[in-house]
Structures are given as structure tokens and as C-alpha cells.
Amino acid sequence: MLSKAQVKYIQSLSHKKQRESEGMFIAEGPKIIHELLNEYPAGIRHIYATRDWINDQQVPGNIELTEVDSAGLERISQLKTPNKVVAIVRQFPEKSAIQVRNHFTLVLDAIQDPGNFGSIIRSADWFGITQVVCNHECADIYNPKVVQATMGSIARVRVMYTNIEDWLQKNKDVRIYGTGLQGKTVNEIGILKEGILVIGNESKGIDEKVLELVDEVITIPKKGKAESLNAAVATGIILAFVCLRE
Amino acid sequence: MLSKAQVKYIQSLSHKKQRESEGMFIAEGPKIIHELLNEYPAGIRHIYATRDWINDQQVPGNIELTEVDSAGLERISQLKTPNKVVAIVRQFPEKSAIQVRNHFTLVLDAIQDPGNFGSIIRSADWFGITQVVCNHECADIYNPKVVQATMGSIARVRVMYTNIEDWLQKNKDVRIYGTGLQGKTVNEIGILKEGILVIGNESKGIDEKVLELVDEVITIPKKGKAESLNAAVATGIILAFVCLRE
């Protein structure tokens, strides 16, 4: 049975401040919970799920498990269409340091739309990129809409928030790429085993001061008339070219 | 001044049935209205805008123009953050026929998320693809969230709704490509000047019967661990490779 205190606690985690002070976040839906059970079982504190989900699933004994009916699920879900299971999960431990040598690292400058942000984390995971550095103008990785859009990749990609200008300054010995409307085309770049790629804000692009630290701008040639591409789509295209093109 | 009847009429256009019976849709925000004024001025029936937008803009005399204050804008806007201007626009004339010979045509099978759907139209426009064929399981192109996500590309890309199985059957003399987890990689395809590309549903992929009509499946190689890519991102990647790669 779901207590009033539990409902209140879960609802409180929709607010960033509360997530930060508790060090927790909410994850929802069988797919994401499945990935978290595989990749980060020690982080899951409490699972609230419908009987059919519970019957289908092995849940380690150290995780609290509460059966809820569909009305209960609706009270704790952040989704328009609640989907069987909600989990309260500990935020990931801070990554001590990002390895830039021999790695490809993604840097996000003010990616604010939760759907775009989550999609980018998912694309990074698809292309084997496991570290993403963000400035504080980016969406919160633990925002329920971001968690949802990562489709479970949140369990595998480490996201660090910092002042990206200072961070890039410290890592200038690795080649820094940025996205822009004029530069070398994605076709000309070739596979990159090492590098840092900066993705700019949805409408303003890369901040001027950050752009000064970029060694090479990569552009996606336009064949038609749209003024720009969606930021998550543009990121996916560049990652595909620099990770796959031989 | 905004009348009660106007507010009621505009709000009614958030419903598909009403949009269809009126043959109208709502577009919002300076960027999209700017594109519509350029590409489809004859289709704009009424613009409601704040004074600063009106002072900045040339509006043809045949378009009704109503100044609204921010409270008025809020009453008629579908957006969380209303953005200066709302327009009532006539739906685009039905395209008589899609030209498949010497064109690249996109076919969408049940792309249901409005953000994904709009993003795909925007990517098509970026890569110079001007015709998109959808089945009735896809989102409605005139859904305000779709219109928003196209960022104005709705003015340039013609979208046709039909039974795609029958439509593909009729166009089997052009090579039909589909997306899938196993097939030829995007790297191996090369530039396509002519072809039909079928994009599958966000979670189920391409419908079985439609898949039978596909001549070649294109896949995006996975380097990491995510189970899948976002549908709009995957579409963008494939379009980039078949439109740009030399």
C-alpha cells in the first residue's frame, strides 16, 4: 500500500532542489528500470510497480518493493501515460575525472530542452561515448523528462556539470571541435578516436567565449531550405560521421 | 481587442476534428510566422500579435491583424511560453501526386511523437526533401506541437496521408529502403538521387507487411550499448549519409 508520505516524497523529487538535497531521482517505465537493474542495481532504493510488472521481474532483495494499483501508479507518475513501474534511484557518484586522452568526449553548451538533452545522451551511448561534460545552463540530467528521453542510457553515460570554458581551457592539448554553420563539412572529418566535440545551444549556438577555444568547426551541409536542424539531430549526425565514416 | 468568440475559435483548433472541418491550423512564434509570410502568405488568414512584433513586421493588407497584450496572447497560445504572435492559417492544398522518379521520398510508418514528427519534417527540409508520405497512425502535421517542431519547414515540405502499403505497392519500380537493426550500413549506401526511405515506428519499427515491400534495409552501426536511437535522430543520420556522403 502506498502511504501519503510516500506519494508526497516521490512528488517532491520532481523539483531539482529536492532531488539535489536528497541525492535521488525518479525513473519510470519497464525499459529504463530494466537497464538500471542491470547497470546500477545498488543505486535503486525503492520500486513501486503494478502486480504484472512484479510477476515478470526478478528484484534483488535489498530493494524495497511496493505493489501499487493503477490509481496508485497515477498518483506517483510524472508521465501522461504511467507505465507499470516507478523507481526511486540514488544519483550517480560524481566521476572523479574525465579521461580526454584516447577518448571522444562530448561537451554541451546550454542544451535546454529535456527531450533534446536526453536524446543526445542516448545517441552518445549508441556511439560508445561514455562521458559528457555540460555547463550549468544545460537541463538537469535527473529531470524526469530527461531521464525518460535517455531511454536507459543515463545508466551508462557519465554526465559532469562544470564551467565548460575553464574545463576546455585545461584540456586544450586535445583537439576541440565545435558545431557551426560554416566550417569543415562532416564528410571531410573522418573517424576521430580522440577529441572533444562542443554542441551549441538550440537557438544561439556555441557561446562566443567557448567558440574561441574551438580548434575546428564542423558543419552539416545544407541541401534544402530549413534554417537549422534540431540540436539532437545535428549531434547525432556529427557523431555518426566521426564514429562510423571510414 | 480580442473577442470571446475569437478566443473560443482559436482554442477549438487545438482539436484535430475542428482543424479538419475548418481546414485551418494554428502557427506560433516569430520564426514560423516569418517563414509562412515568405512561403505561404496567401494561406494566412488572421494574425494576433503583440505591438512590438507588429512594429517590426510588414504584414500584407489582405491578412487580418489584431493587436493583443501579453494576457490576450496567453489566452490563445498553445505554448508554455507564448511568443509574440499566433496565426490562423489555411491547411496546405492536397498535393495532386508525389513524384517518385528522380526524387528522394520519405515515408513515415506510425511516427507518433509530435516532436519527433516535426523534427523529421525539419530534417527533410534541410536535406532538400520536399515530399513525405505518412500513414494515418502518424501524428497530425497540423498538431500545434508538430507545427512548432518543424520550425517553419511545414511551409516547404508537402505531407500526404495515405495507406502506405498500397502506396508503396504502386511505386515498386523505385528502389525502396527501410530502417532496421540489420542490413547494409549507412556507410555502404552512398548518395541516393532517387529512392524511397521508410522510417519505422519509435518502438515497433517498420510494420511487417510494409517491410515485405522494402528492397534494402539500412542500418546505423552501434558502437556502444544503447538499445536504439531516437527515431528523429536515426532519420537525420540516414538522410545525412544518403544526401551528403560522396
- pLDDT attached to residue A84: 96
User: Contact A44/A36 with Cβ under 8 angstroms?
Assistant: yes
Residues of B within 8 A of A36 (CB-CB) are: none
B226 interaction partners in chain A (CB closer than 8 Å): 122-123, 125-126, 151-153, 156
For the record, the C-alpha cell of A161 comes out as 556539470
pLDDT, tens only, B117-140: 999 999 999 999 999 999 999 999
pLDDT band, very low/low/confident/very high, at A222 (cuts 50, 70, 90): very high
d(CA A67, CA B53): 53
**d(C-alpha B127, C-alpha A221), whole Å:** 8
Does B245 sit within 8 Å of A31, measured CB to CB?
no
C-alpha dihedral sign at B11, B17, B18, B20: positive
How far off is chain A from B1, nearest CA to CA, in Å? 32
Q: How far is A102 from chain B (nearest CA, A)?
A: 15
Residue B17 has pLDDT above 70, yes or no: yes
3-state helix, strand, coil in chain B (%, to 5): 40, 20, 40
The tens digit of pLDDT for each residue in B48-75 reads: 999 999 999 989 999 999 999 999 999 9
Instruction: Mark out chain A residues that contact chain B at CB-CB < 8 A.
Output: 31, 115, 119, 122-130, 149, 151-153, 156, 185-187, 220-230, 232-237, 240-241, 243-246
Instruction: Say yes or no to pLDDT of B190 above 90.
Output: no
Average pLDDT over residues B166-187: 95
Taking contacts as CB-CB distances below 8 angstroms, the residues of chain A near B245 are 187, 245
Dihedral Cα B33, B39, B42, B44, nearest 10 deg: -20
**Residue B206 above 80 pLDDT?**
yes
Residue A201 has pLDDT above 80, yes or no: yes
The residues spanned by each domain of chain A are 4-90, 104-244
Residues in B closer than 8 angstroms to A151, CB to CB, are 226-228, 230
Quick check: B135 and B109 in contact, CB under 8 A? yes
Is residue B246 predicted with pLDDT exceeding 70? no
- Cross-chain Cβ contact A119/B233 below 8 Å: yes
Q: B217 — phi, psi (to 5°)? A: -95, 135
Domain A104-244 has CATH 3.40.1280.10: yes
Residue A23 in grid coordinates: 541525492
pLDDT, mean of residues A73-85 = 93
Is residue A66's pLDDT more than 80? Answer: yes
Q: Which residues of A are less than 8 Å from B119 in CB distance?
A: 230, 232-233
* Structure confidence by residue, pLDDT tens digits, B97-112: 789 999 999 999 999 9
Probe site for chain A from B186, B230, B243, B245 (most A CB atoms < 10 A): B230
Q: Which of B80, B113, B123, B191 to mutate to test the interface with A (most CBs of A within 10 A)?
A: B123
pLDDT (0 to 100) of residue A246: 62
Q: In terms of CATH architecture, what is A4-90?
A: 2-Layer Sandwich (3.30)
pLDDT band for B147, please (50, 70, 90 cuts). Answer: very high
Predicted confidence (pLDDT) per residue in A106-146, tens digit: 999 999 999 999 999 999 999 999 999 999 999 999 999 99
- B208, pLDDT greater than 90: yes
Mean pLDDT of chain A: 94
Model pLDDT, residue B181: 87
CB contact under 8 A, A244 and B123: no
Q: Which of B180, B245, B229, B178 is nearest to A235 (CA)?
A: B229
Mind giving me the DSSP string for B157-169? -EEEES-HHHHHH
* Preferred mutation among B117, B154, B233 to probe A, highest tally of A CBs within 10 A: B233
Whether A99 shows a pLDDT value over 80: the answer reads yes
Spatial CB neighbours of A147, under 8 Å, sequence gap ≥ 6: A25, A26, A27, A28, A32, A118, A141, A154
Contact (Cβ atoms closer than 8 angstroms) between residue B69 and residue B13: no
The DSSP code sequence of chain A is ---HHHHHHHHHTTSHHHHHHHTEEEEESHHHHHHHHHH-GGGEEEEEE-HHHHHH----TTSEEEE--HHHHHHH--SSS--SEEEEEEPPPPPS----TTSEEEEES----HHHHHHHHHHHHHTT--EEEE-TTSPPTTSHHHHHHHTTGGGT-EEEES-HHHHHHHTTTS-EEEEEEEEEEHHHH---SSEEEEE-BTTTBS-HHHHTT-SEEEE----S--S---HHHHHHHHHHHHHH--
Residue of A156, A181, A204, A237 to mutate, testing the B interface (most B Cβ within 10 Å of its Cβ): A237
Mean pLDDT (whole number) for A154-162: 94
CA distance B242 to chain A (A): 12
The complex's ipTM works out to 0.94
CA distance A243 to chain B (A): 8
User: In what helix (H) or strand (E) does residue B243 lie, and over which residues does it extend?
Assistant: helix B231-244
Nearest to B233 among A123, A130, A245 (CB): A123
The band of B94, judged by pLDDT with boundaries at 50, 70 and 90, is: confident
User: Is it the case that residue A96 has pLDDT exceeding 90?
Assistant: no
What mean pLDDT comes out for the span B208-232? 96
